Amino acid sequence: MMMLDEVRAICLGFPGVTEKISGHGGGVTWRAAQGQFAWERGPRKTDLAQLADLGRTWPDGTVLAIRTDGLEAKAALLQTYPDTFFEIPHFEGYPAVLSALATADPTLARDHHRGVADPDHAPPARRVARRPASALRPARASPALTWVPPRLH
């Protein structure tokens, strides 16, 4: 489980990242020079209705939207960590996943910070995305929030 303050510390540890409160939903957003890469995302009425049609519900607690390094990385995260990452119809075709902080692992999230600044230590999400979907297996360890901001080079 992660707290929003832990997310803030990780995000602000990236080079050139700023934090602001979104005018759209009133949640916290984090931006790099290339754009927004993580933001607090509450459910909209449409989201709740669409999830209900699918027999699903919005998770309790704080939910973050996290931009991925493309649709392949998104698919890899959704397949590899289904208990951590999810998608709603509004995000279909968009390179981002949603994650409830209640299911996120702060240790692994911190490890991803190092990988952004040094390509030799790329976050596992990028390594996973390079493998074909047929080669992926569900993780044995507890799932974790994976930070993959837009390319910083």
Taking only the tens place, the pLDDT of each residue in 47-77 is: 999 999 999 999 999 999 988 888 998 998 8
Q: Give the contacts of 64 (CB within 8 A, at least 6 positions apart).
A: 7, 38, 39, 40, 41, 98, 99, 101, 145
Classify domain 4-132 by CATH architecture: Alpha-Beta Complex (3.90)
Round the CA-based radius of gyration of the chain to a whole number and report it.
15
The whole-number average pLDDT for the span 92-118 is: 67
Dihedral sign for Cα 107, 101, 149, 16, please. negative
Q: How confident is the model at residue 11 (pLDDT cuts 50, 70, 90)?
A: confident
7/52 Cα distance (integer angstroms): 29
33 pLDDT band, cuts 50/70/90, is confident
